[in-house]
Amino acid sequence: MGRDGQAAIQVNENRALQTRRQILASGVAIAGTMPMMRAAAVPERGTEKLRLVAGTRVLSVNGRTSRVFNLIGPNGKPGITLAPGDRFHVDLTNQAGTSTIIHWHGQLPPWKQDGFPWPQTPPIPAGDTHSYDYAPIAGTYWMHSHQGMQEQSLMSAPLIVHSAEDLRADRQEVVLMLHDFSFKTPEELLAGLTKSNGGPSAMAKSGMGSAMNMASGEGAMKTGSAMAAMKMESDMKMNLNDIDYDAFLANDRTLTDPDVIRTEPGGRVLLRLINGACSTGFWIDLGELTGTVIAADGHPVRPVRGTRLPLAIAQRLDVVIDLPRNGAYPIFAHVEGKRARTGIILAASGASVSRLTAEAAENAPPVDLSLEHRLEAVAPLAPRAPDVTHRVILAGGMSPYAWSMNGQFWPEITPLMVASGQRVAIEMVNASMMAHPMHLHGHAFQVVAINGTPIAGAVRDTVLVPPMGSVTFAFDANNPGRWAFHCHNLYHMMTGMMTEVRYPGIV
């Protein structure tokens, strides 16, 4: 949605004329550029086949244009919103001019509909259409390309599946989708990171295959105290952000021209936060407002109140906010380790909206597990000891730039085997100086331990493993297939940090 040359803050005044109930009744999209609440009572919607088109567009960012991808849904807006009971019954047409494959992040389809480029499920050639049909799970999800680095070129969009509760609730829904953006191509960005690597053979010769070698950078196994010292040291000089981005986008816009969403004075908002960035963690800063987190990665959690909320790459949070009677309230997303920020504005009808700067007064701290510790699933796994536990060492570094799981680099990996009916635990131990947002396809897992301390945490699909820390999640193996399990930092994934969770007998 190129906003060419428009520096002034623009508001869709139509929205200001409608109350939430009127909006809900009419089914009109209500939040600027993103797909929003749709009417509950569209007859026969559940059987309708929806059209999704992968294409390209020209995006204007801070006055300069760039050709990027997009994913346009049946209402002409990015992504797809489903009503309760709808199937994910979608024809995906590839008009992007290059082959692509779209992953329905966090959803639990049969594995051949997961949108990962396995040999059995190759990418969709340019010009072709591929059909999907599965029962979705309700909540805040998203979709993104799993082909090459198309995700960095904005081949991603919201995927919102409404629950019956969403339709009963008297609240305005607002989607806030975040991206990191560069005018460089993703290939240029990756080349900038790997330029000192000296090629794959040099990596092999230097012992890159050994996870602990990479963790220490010196080839020596560290003792516990040395590890702790290293962690303290790394806290001082750790590079939180691999890439120097040109901009950070909230609903495709920067703070010089933000998405202004008209709200009902004193009304209630459900903010659906999606971190669709490729290599950036954010702190969501609600400013003067206080929110109540009610879901993580689409799955309900017991309510947690907060004003500053960490959001790792690929994660989502649903936050209920009760607005004061009047005024304009910025919702900032502040880049970890930087002053840079982006955001949107919730503004009551008639409230004046002042210009915001794209830099906060101070650098944001690293995204951490402070919220994760407090989250508790509404529907946890049934109590049960794991039948199988896989331990996975996460390792890697900046020079050479390469990242591994158990010392292996995708695609030269040994699958983690699981069998239908098993309770599976995966313990991830981070032996590196960077945090890794780890995502398992095709399953919702529960976070069951942080740094060895058991918790009854959130059920979700992406969890951050901080530098030198460990996180364990558990899931029931109930979706046979081949499933990617990887770091969702695109540049970590592209340089090796991906493996497979595999059921036996899959062809």
Choice from 81, 489, 495, 499 touching Cu ion (CB under 5 A):
489
Q: Quick one: 258 or 496, whose CB is closer to Cu ion?
A: 496
Q: How many CB atoms lie within 10 A of CB 316?
A: 29
Q: Which of residues 8-27 bind Cu ion (CB under 5 A)?
A: none
Q: Which stretch binds Cu ion (CB under 5 A): 208-216, 227-235, 341-349, 436-444?
A: 436-444
Interaction between residue 492 and Cu ion (CB under 5 A)? yes
Q: Which stretch binds Cu ion (CB under 5 A): 92-100, 283-291, 344-352, 488-496?
A: 488-496
Q: Quick one: 113 or 489, whose CB is closer to Cu ion?
A: 489
H/E segment holding residue 212: helix 211-216
DSSP state of 117: -
Residue 137 CB, nearest approach to Cu ion (Å)? 26
Q: Quick one: 493 or 501, whose CB is closer to Cu ion?
A: 493
Distance CA 18, CA 172 (A): 11
Q: Quick one: 71 or 433, whose CB is closer to Cu ion?
A: 433
Interaction between residue 486 and Cu ion (CB under 5 A)? no
Looking from the CA of 141 toward its CB, the CA atoms found within 13 Å total 27
CB 180 within 8 A of CB 280: yes
The two tokens of residue 85 are 């009971």
Nearby residues of 493 by Cβ (< 8 Å), 6 or more positions away: 403, 410, 486, 487
Distance CA 242, CA 3 (A): 28
Residue 499 CB, nearest approach to Cu ion (Å)? 13
Q: Quick one: 161 or 487, whose CB is closer to Cu ion?
A: 487
Q: Which stretch binds Cu ion (CB under 5 A): 222-230, 272-280, 433-441, 443-451?
A: 433-441
Q: Quick one: 146 or 436, whose CB is closer to Cu ion?
A: 436
Residue 434 CB, nearest approach to Cu ion (Å)? 6
Chain centre to alpha carbon of residue 423 = 26
Q: Which stretch binds Cu ion (CB under 5 A): 47-55, 287-295, 410-418, 486-494?
A: 486-494
The two tokens of residue 372 are 């994760």
Residue 141 CB, nearest approach to Cu ion (Å)? 21
Q: Quick one: 13 or 412, whose CB is closer to Cu ion?
A: 412
Interaction between residue 436 and Cu ion (CB under 5 A)? yes
Distance CA 88, CA 128 (A): 19
Q: Quick one: 423 or 436, whose CB is closer to Cu ion?
A: 436
The two tokens of residue 335 are 């880049």
CB 351 within 8 A of CB 376: no
Residue 12 CB, nearest approach to Cu ion (Å)? 38
The two tokens of residue 214 are 């990479």
What are the residues facing 356 on neighbouring strands?
A: none
Q: Which stretch binds Cu ion (CB under 5 A): 208-216, 300-308, 431-439, 472-480?
A: 431-439
Residue 329 CB, nearest approach to Cu ion (Å)? 33
Residue 190 CB, nearest approach to Cu ion (Å)? 14
Closest CA to 79 of 12, 139, 3, 160: 160
CB 310 within 8 A of CB 280: no
Q: Which of residues 151-210 bind Cu ion (CB under 5 A)?
A: none
Q: Which of residues 274-303 bind Cu ion (CB under 5 A)?
A: none
Closest CA to 157 of 82, 74, 70, 92: 70
Closest CA to 238 of 394, 397, 364: 397
Q: Which of residues 354-413 bind Cu ion (CB under 5 A)?
A: none
Q: Quick one: 298 or 496, whose CB is closer to Cu ion?
A: 496
CB 60 within 8 A of CB 68: no
- The count of residues interacting with Cu ion (CB under 5 A) is 4
Q: What are phi and psi of 259, to 5 degrees?
A: -70, 115
Q: Interface residues with Cu ion (CB under 5 A)?
A: 436, 487, 489, 492
